[in-house]
Every structure is written in C-alpha cells, then in structure tokens.
C-alpha cells in the first residue's frame, strides 16, 4: 500500500544473510503497475480479437513472415476441413494449396516470382 492508502501490484525479492550469527533479510520491492496494465491491455485486445474471429461468417487466418499460420477462426477451419490444431504453426501454402488433383505440387509457380 502506498502512503496515500492506494494499493498497487508489486514484485518482492527477499534475500537472506547472516551477520554476527544473526539472520537478516533484505527485501526489494518493484512497482509492476505498468507491466500489469500492459498485460491487461493485451488480454483485452486478445479477447476482442477472439470475439470478432469467432463470430465472423467468413474464414479468417493470419500468417507470420514465414507463411506459418498464427491464428485461424472456426469458420476457416470448417471451410478447409481442418481442426485449429492441424493448421496453427503450419505453412499455409503447403497445407491448403499443396497439390493439384493429379498430385503435381502447386509450388512450381513460385519459382517464376
């Protein structure tokens, strides 16, 4: 609690030492208000994103710079015939556009780009 009576989140580190055959303890307090506020903002943004993704009637997915799926909504999973676990972290192109019906890889067009 602060001097003004307000509460704040803190992190406490305690060290033990012996001096003149007596145990002594030293504590370091860190105000982690900013960290907690940031964590709460991220959680709120994630909840909002999940509400939007889960209620959308369109298939939505996101990719990282390597083309791996970072998020996918239930509609996209249903449309593609995969579970979320089967898609997350996988290369999107290889997962969805892996080959033509005759088995020929679809990756060949990438060579010309």
pLDDT recorded at residue 27: 95
- Least Cα distance to 73 among 92, 59, 91 occurs for 59
* pTM (predicted TM-score): 0.55
Yes or no: say if 56 and 73 are a contact pair by the CB < 8 Å rule: yes
pLDDT recorded at residue 92: 83
- Least Cα distance to 58 among 44, 75, 81 occurs for 75
pLDDT recorded at residue 107: 61
pLDDT recorded at residue 6: 92
pLDDT recorded at residue 106: 66
Domain boundaries 10-112, corresponding CATH code = 3.30.450
Q: What percent of the chain has pLDDT over 70?
A: 90
Per-residue pLDDT of 2-55, as tens digits, reads 899 999 999 999 999 999 999 999 999 999 999 999 999 999 999 998 898 889
> How far apart are alpha carbons 30 and 26 in whole angstroms?
13
**pLDDT mean across residues, the chain:** 87
For residues 52-67, average pLDDT: 90
In DSSP terms, 71 is beta-bridged to 62
65's torsion region: left (phi>0), alpha (psi -120 to 50) or beta? alpha
pLDDT recorded at residue 113: 45
pLDDT recorded at residue 112: 46
């Amino acid at each position: 609690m602060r001097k003004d009576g307000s509460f704040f989140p803190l992190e406490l580190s305690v060290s033990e030492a012996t001096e003149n055959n007596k145990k002594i303890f030293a504590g370091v307090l860190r105000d982690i208000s900013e960290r907690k506020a940031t964590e709460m903002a991220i959680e709120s943004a994630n909840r909002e994103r999940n509400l939007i993704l889960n209620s959308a009637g369109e298939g939505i997915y996101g990719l990282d710079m390597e083309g791996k799926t970072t998020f996918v909504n239930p509609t996209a999973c249903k449309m593609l015939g995969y579970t979320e676990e089967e898609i997350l972290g996988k290369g999107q192109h290889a997962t969805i556009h892996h080959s033509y019906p005759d088995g020929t890889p679809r990756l060949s067009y990438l060579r010309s780009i």
